[in-house]
Chain A
């Protein structure tokens, strides 16, 4: 049984089909370990520059957001335009649980993660129950994101309003120093990749693919579409919340702009669409690429949005499906010429 599932789901990032389960697992872990090893070397190179280190930590946070979003949108087709809001729920949640309620930092992070996870699951449950399509799910979650943003601004006593929330907890610990914060975020991202990779290889991934290809056919074949969508949102929501919480704690401050729709969701959508929607490693490629591009253009100030926008247009005209699926197709075509 496991073998059959592995065969059915055993498509690696570049789309090759594995022969049996053992190979499938190594095909999952080898690239993840490789990504981890390469990224782990970054602080050796950038370690002297506080600015570049904080850019890298933010880049990793975006990698985490994009993996979570990929699990929800890429795997089950739910356009969640509340990535920043769910991350913010984690960030503000952890700050409030730790500082205001006085919980230990690790408990605060976990509690905030649960809050984000349940909120994500609830949004998904509503969308599934009302059988909302992609665009409508997008609008409802966008409305949730805007409402969250306004709540944060309005509940100034609790959240610090416009100026943000200075987090006391975790001060003078490893959370606030550059390299440990970097490795913590990196570990999170790698764990997310393993979770998503294992999900894709289990019966859950099989259901994901079925419902994304053809929802009605999947339902007829006995896949409980609603259950798997909510499951994806629960897990993805937890990833977003935990990333937001840990990132906030490493910065020592969360503010409305940390989790703003334009600052987070827009960027995450672009990163995922660039790497490849639904591909396991697309989020990493997208996050790294756009973090580097953003940093290269940072001297231009506001004007940097011009080449950034032009790049988005050119990229999506040229490779609308994203880099990893496109390259995967090219490789496969070369390996087995038509005819």
Chain B
């Protein structure tokens, strides 16, 4: 017992690092679903393309910070292209038909991206090295990459909260999430808001690529697993809720790390999945979702 107690700080800190990644994964997906009722199954591929853009820039001799900016712009552009092309026909449908069509069309995109990247160079992978030895946090040695990655995620969530609480644009976006007709009546153009959110979601996918690559390589085949993980965290947190994504990410991250450390790697993923399933069954609307 004392043994577990001495390990607990490390487990919780590692869990928080992982959980922040989980939360960030879900943020971009949950926003697009909340606003447009669109499920983007090519979300992981957006992150992978951004990672490949950074890799390309780095290989071309661009300094790493500028390369990251290239990646973020790529992500944003991908969101914009998605909004201008595939989203048009999807948006003409309502309710479940819209979700199903968005699911199928983005699946097609995911196939195309995976196929091309895998054919082009199956071994490509982005790793961003953060130099220097481990840093002590509350007596636990933490890898520098994990700390920088977590700090970026926290900053991004901070910016998102400020954006949605305090800016006119952010409030306009939230008003569309809550009541599309009402927002239209007070002069907010929902399709304009959707475009902004898609660009934002693309940038968030690029941030996922950046922070993930500080912890482990982002490979060309990572797209699908990123999407699935993002989907699970999104649903546990509540569709459309950014704070829900944050909370669900942290909880699932800590559960996963605890299970890995105390029970074993193979069962830890199953425990994570069971935890997600139980949450959905107890609260079908998610932790912080709105009950319909």
Contacts and interface: CB of A to CB of B under 8 A. Distances in A.
B104 interface: yes
A308 interface: yes
Interface stretch (A97-105, A107-115, A313-321): A313-321
Contacts of A301: 119
Contacts, number: 108
Interface residues of B, number: 41
Given A302-B118, A304-B115, A312 B108 contact: yes
B108 A316 contact: yes
A313 B116 contact: no
Contact of B284 (A131, A153, A305, A306): A131
A143 B273 contact: yes
Interface string A35-60: 00000000000000000000000000
A133 to B, nearest CB: 8
A303 B100 CA distance: 26
B101 A316 contact: yes
Contacts of A135: 39, 99, 235, 239
B86 A140 contact: no
Given A131-B284, A136-B235, A317-B89, A146 B273 contact: yes
A126 B278 CA distance: 11
A321 to B, nearest CB: 9
A139 interface: yes
A143 B105 contact: no
Count chain B CB atoms within 10 A of each CB in A126, A131, A143 and give the residue with the most: A143
B138 interface: no
B122 interface: yes
B274 interface: yes
Interface of B: 39, 86, 89, 93, 96-97, 99-101, 104-105, 107-116, 118-119, 122, 224, 228, 231-232, 235, 239, 266-267, 269-270, 273-274, 276-277, 280-281, 284
Given A142-B228, A306-B116, 5 more contacts: A146-B273, A147-B269, A270-B107, A273-B104, A312-B105
